[in-house]
């Protein structure tokens, strides 16, 4: 199959998936309790004012007509306005998504740094200390809720040991000049190392929290595929031919393991970019997840829908990029 045909087919599937996500999210948000009109005019407004605002917003229309209007709005690139912040949703997301991207990228780098090497070593040394450590860490990571782990880390490193700063946003220092919206990257580009330190220190605990929970399944996937590969016939044949063990691991086994590991990494990165809701809420980071939670509590429909669509789009785009890389690297995926 030609790469262009493959990409066009995947893009068509993405549109169908986004349509389905938007439909489900739209119906669910309309089931949220409360009338948003009261938030706009205030609880003390008279009933005629509330009715007028409800009609102006189109909330009195049948739900299918409301959805048709919303699709027309999306087609024009308009995500609507937030009744809570009084801003266009695109403006709010533009100011908050960099915080989620920065945290998610840092968490993924940390997760890969500890999970992949540990998974490989534990697969090569069965019943060793590294194997038991991998079992313990992966079991701990998949079983503990990320928000609970975040609160434990805050209790230990901030409240008890006083090593970490308070959970009060993205930085307690100066905000670096805006270039990418990522404070650590912008600070490096500006050469402002004090701003970089302030932003990095503020990000350590939430990034470690996510790295533990995200890295746990990656340890299991890496170890499982590494063991399966090392037990395969071509590895046994290489050993029989006298190929050095180091070459067997690095040149023959590791390339076969990287494809499923990168796929799992793409899944985890899509999850992180979609908005790490509870971790952002615990650490008061102004990202997409916290934005969605605050909007849900206020029956603010447009930001919730935008956050759900952005989460779905993040997954789909990351999967598409990873599948294209696999399409190029592995000829077996082209059939």
Residue 161 tokens, joined: 């040991």
pLDDT tens, 51-97?
A: 777 777 777 778 888 888 888 888 888 888 887 888 888 898 888 88
> Per residue in 131-160, pLDDT tens?
899 999 999 998 998 889 999 999 999 989
Least Cα distance to 263 among 314, 330, 323 occurs for: 323
- The two counts, helices (H) then strands (E), for the chain are 15, 0
Q: What are phi and psi of 81, to 5 degrees?
A: -115, 150
> What pLDDT score does 117 carry?
92
The answer, yes or no, to whether residue 48 has pLDDT greater than 90, is no
Residue 207 has pLDDT above 90, yes or no: yes
Q: Could you tell me which of 143, 96, 27 has the C-alpha nearest to residue 275?
A: 96
What are residue 88's phi and psi, to 5 degrees? -60, 140
Crossing angle of helices 89-124 and 183-190, in 10° steps, is 90
What digits encode the pLDDT tens for the residues 21-40? 888 888 887 776 666 666 66
Report whether 156 contacts 164 (CB < 8 A): no
Please tell me the pTM assigned to this model. 0.84
Which has the closest alpha carbon to 141: 209, 65, 228?
A: 209
Helices (H), 231-287: 233-240, 245-247, 254-273, 277-282
Percent of the chain with pLDDT over 70: 93
Q: For position 272, what pLDDT does the model report?
A: 87
Quick one: pLDDT at residue 288?
Answer: 86
Query: To the nearest whole number, what is the mean pLDDT of the chain?
Result: 85
Looking at residue 151, its pLDDT comes to: 92
Which H or E run contains 214?
A: helix 193-230
Give me the residue spans of the domains in the chain.
Answer: 99-298
Structure tokens that stand for 22 in this block: 């938007």
pLDDT value of position 243: 86
| 209 pLDDT higher than 90 | yes
Comparing 297 with 223, the larger pLDDT belongs to 223
- The residues, any chain, with a CB within 8 Å of residue 223's CB and separated by 6 or more, are 119, 120, 122, 123, 134
Give the model's pLDDT for residue 75: 84
Sole residue written with tokens 């996937």? 221
Model confidence at 318, pLDDT cuts 50, 70, 90, reads confident
The answer, yes or no, to whether residue 44 has pLDDT greater than 80, is: no
What digits encode the pLDDT tens for the residues 274-305? 767 888 888 988 888 888 888 877 777 888 88
CATH class of this structure's domain 99-298? mainly alpha
Rounded mean pLDDT of 106-111? Answer: 94
Q: What is the pLDDT of residue 276?
A: 78
Say which residues have a Cβ less than 8 Å from residue 48's Cβ, sequence separation at least 6: none
């Amino acid at each position: 199959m030609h790469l262009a045909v493959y990409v066009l087919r995947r893009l068509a599937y993405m549109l169908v998936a986004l349509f389905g996500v938007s439909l489900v999210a739209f119906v669910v948000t309309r089931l949220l309790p409360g009338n948003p009109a009261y938030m706009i005019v205030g609880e003390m407004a008279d009933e005629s004012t509330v009715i007028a605002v409800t009609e102006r917003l189109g909330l009195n229309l049948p739900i299918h007509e409301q959805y048709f209007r919303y699709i027309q709005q999306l087609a024009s690139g308009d995500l609507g306005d937030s009744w809570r912040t009084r801003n266009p949703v695109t403006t709010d997301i533009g100011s908050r998504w960099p915080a989620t991207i920065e945290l998610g990228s840092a968490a993924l780098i940390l997760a890969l740094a500890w999970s992949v090497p540990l998974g490989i070593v534990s697969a090569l040394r069965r019943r060793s200390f590294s194997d038991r450590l991998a079992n313990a860490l992966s079991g701990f990571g998949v079983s503990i809720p990320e928000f609970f782990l975040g609160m434990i880390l805050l209790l230990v490193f901030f409240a008890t040991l006083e090593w970490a700063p308070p959970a009060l946003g993205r930085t307690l220092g100066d905000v670096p000049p805006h270039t990418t919206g990522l404070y650590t990257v912008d600070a490096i580009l500006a050469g402002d190392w004090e701003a970089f330190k302030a932003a990095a220190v503020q990000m350590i605990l939430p990034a470690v929290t996510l790295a533990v929970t995200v890295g746990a399944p990656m340890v299991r996937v890496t170890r499982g595929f590494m063991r399966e590969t090392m037990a395969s016939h071509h590895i046994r044949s290489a050993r029989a031919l006298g190929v050095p063990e180091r070459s067997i691991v690095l040149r023959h086994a590791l390339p076969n393991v990287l494809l499923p590991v990168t796929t799992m990494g793409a899944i985890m990165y899509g999850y992180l970019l979609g908005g790490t809701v509870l971790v952002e809420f615990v650490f008061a980071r102004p990202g997409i997840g916290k934005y969605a939670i605050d909007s849900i509590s206020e029956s603010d429909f447009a930001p919730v829908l935008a956050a759900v669509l952005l989460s779905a789009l993040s997954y789909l785009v990351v999967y598409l990029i990873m599948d294209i890389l696999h399409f190029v690297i592995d000829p077996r995926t082209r059939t």
